[in-house]
Amino acid sequence: MTARVYIPADMLSLALGADEVAKAIAETAKAEDTDIDIVRTGSRGACWAEPLIEVETDAGRVAYGKISKNDVPGLFDAEFLQGGTHEKSLGLTEDIPYLKNQQRFIFKNCGLYDPCDIDAYEAHGGFAGLRVALQKSPKPITEEVQISGLRGRGGAGFPAAIKWRTVLGAEDPQKYVVCNADEGDSGTFSDRLIMEGDPFRLIEGMVIAGFATRAKNGVIYLRSEYPIAKTVLRKAITRAKAAGWLGTNIKGSGRTFNISLFVGGGSYVCGEETALLESLEGNRGIVRAKPPLPAYEGLFGKPTLINNVITLCAVPDILAKGGAWHASLGTGRSTGTMPFQLSGDVKYGGLVEVPFGMSLRALLDDFGGGTRSGLPIKAVQIGGPLGAYLPPRLFDTPLTYEAFAALGAGLGHGGVVVFNENTDMRAQARYAFEFCAHESCGKCTPCRIGAVRGAEILAKDAPDLALVEDLCEVMIDGSACAMGSMTPVPVQSAITHFPDDFAAQPQKMAQ
């Protein structure tokens, strides 16, 4: 019998030598005259164990974690092709607590098969949502999304159905569905993992969104920092077309939807939806004044639905299982699951998809397992560079949109970055201003000038915190988009929760 070995080929695994591992396994098997079938997959999201390789056995898939090419001879000695025990054994993959204790639906198939194997996708339940959508007219599809309570996973948490209904209601023969895959927040990688690991899910979600809004053209705006996702998506789009799930007359329905891929230019603010549209149109990525909303006048002035990758990836199951099923997950107005991403100084970093409502502490302790360095946690930053720094005394806050809004914080795109006790929070606050100065599109003065002044003040030996407070107020009230209006979030939270770090003391020169 041919042994089957699964080796991830996502960007992180490649960074950690997965190709070398695959090569060594193939060569050793050949030398030993053993038939093997190596399947390159997406990542399971247990980043701490990457490269995590798996072997198919009668009992299920057996996993080995943190494998380097140097481990390969030992793995063969341990008869890993039959699931033999090795010092890097993790047991059955499905029993690894980190994965077992999650409640995945968006990421349930990530890591199971070759991401561009469309038959495998379908065999694991793929296109079930689109099949349902094919039987429905646009309105019932949007109603299903409304019942689901799905909110935008990009950061703002705006109810998806409102956007969908608005675009559907806008009368125009030319409309667009734009997928925002400009995942620029530090500490976030869920979009990357799903695009590299299960791209047909995104394609399926976009086609459903196209049917729901009567848009015939879709665009994925992908950041240039994700080269592997680009390759995978290109291939997946071609295969979906060849299989009749994309293009004209999809599965004989008479409906049409096309997807093109656009690669960005390395600008954080292009993740803001109107800057993203400007970028697509060939311009500087400068934010537009709203109104008009993109749902009425978006790409090239046409009605445009803009959703984040994860939002669109939630849609296939909502159609397949019903909006009520999705609404039953989570708590309050935070329905469904959220793929949280643990990073920074954390022992078990990776992707954790759980229903909303778990406490931040449970996420950090039960999944994160404390810091990688062994030092106590000083703060976590949630929701990317525009997210709040929170101290341990607030870790019992439940992970819901409502609870975090009450703290003046947000969940953003679900990134949770852990900082140890050696962190200088004033340096982090100053970095927030510096990042804003670097990335500001320059359209509005509070952001363009405020960020520079803020960084200057915090670089002084004795910073005038009252002045910083004033500056933050101006930026919050006067900025055109979240870049300027939310840069104060990390700054103010750092000052509020870690006042000792802001006492007068000599500052190092900026790098």
Interface with other proteins (CB under 8 A), residue total 62
Q: Cβ of residue 284: shortest distance to other proteins, in angstroms? A: 4
Which residues are CB-neighbours of 84 under 8 A, at least 6 positions away? 78
349 binds other proteins (CB under 8 A): yes
Tokens of residue 157, six digits? 């948490």
List the structure tokens of 233.
């998506």
Nearer to other proteins, 15 or 405 (CB): 15
161/346 with CB nearer other proteins? 346
Distance between CA atoms of 468 and 472, rounded to whole angstroms? 6
C-beta closer to other proteins: residue 204 or 278: 278
- The binding track of 236-275 with respect to other proteins, each residue x by CB under 8 A or -, is --------------------------xxxxxxx-------
Provide the angle, in degrees to the nearest 10, between the axes of the packed helices 199-213 and 309-321.
70
Considering only 42, 157, 336, 415, the residue that binds other proteins (CB under 8 A) is: 415
Q: How far is the CB of 115 from other proteins (least distance, A)?
A: 16
48 binds other proteins, rule: CB under 8 A: yes
Partners of 331 in the β-ladder: 334
Task: Rule CB under 8 A: choose which of 54, 56, 183, 204 binds other proteins.
Answer: 183
Question: Which of these ranges, 91-99, 159-167, 278-286, 310-318, lies near other proteins under the rule CB under 8 A?
Answer: 278-286
Query: Are 88 and 321 in contact, with CB atoms under 8 Å apart?
Result: no
CA dihedral 24, 30, 34, 39 (to 10 degrees): 50
Residue number, 341 or 487, with CB nearest to other proteins:
341
The answer to whether residues 418 and 342 touch, using CB atoms and an 8 Å cutoff, is: yes
Among 105, 419, 433, 498, interactor with other proteins by CB under 8 A: 419
Output the smallest distance, CB 389 to other proteins, in A. Answer: 10
Nearer to other proteins, 224 or 505 (CB): 224
The residue from 224, 231, 248, 249 that contacts other proteins (CB under 8 A) is 224
User: Residue from 83, 155, 187, 330 that binds other proteins (CB under 8 A)?
Assistant: 187
Residue 283 binds other proteins, judged by CB under 8 A: yes
Q: What's the chain's Rg over C-alpha atoms? A: 23
Burial of residue 9, with CB atoms counted within 10 A of its CB: 0-12 exposed, 13-18 middle, 19 or more buried: buried
Q: Which helix (DSSP H) or strand (DSSP E) does residue 228 occupy? A: helix 227-242
Residue 218 makes contact with other proteins by CB under 8 A: no
Q: In angstroms, rounded to a whole number, what is the distance separating the alpha carbons of residues 263 and 221?
A: 6
Residue 412 touching other proteins (CB under 8 A) = no
332 binds other proteins (CB under 8 A): no
Long-range own/partner contacts, residues 452-455 (CB < 8 A, 24 or more apart): 454/430, 454/487, 454/491, 455/430, 455/510
Select from 109, 213, 304, 420 the one that contacts other proteins (CB under 8 A): 420
- Shortest gap between Cβ of 423 and other proteins (angstroms)? 7
Residues 129, 134: Cα–Cα separation, whole Å: 9
Question: Which residue's CB is nearer to other proteins, number 144 or number 439?
Answer: 439
Q: Return the sign of the alpha-carbon dihedral for residues 409, 413, 414, 416.
A: negative
CB of 352 to other proteins, least distance (A): 11
DSSP state of 273: H
The two three-digit tokens of residue 251, written as one number: 């599965």
In angstroms, the first-to-last Cα distance of the chain is 59
Helix (H, G, I), strand (E, B) or coil at 271: helix
Residues 371-390 that bind other proteins (CB under 8 A): 372-373, 381, 385
Are 41 and 124 within 8 A, CB to CB? Answer: no
User: Which residues contribute to the site for other proteins (CB under 8 A)?
Assistant: 11-12, 14-16, 47-48, 50, 183-189, 191-192, 224-228, 262-268, 279-286, 341-346, 349-350, 372-373, 381, 385, 415, 417-420, 423, 428, 431, 435, 438-439, 441, 511
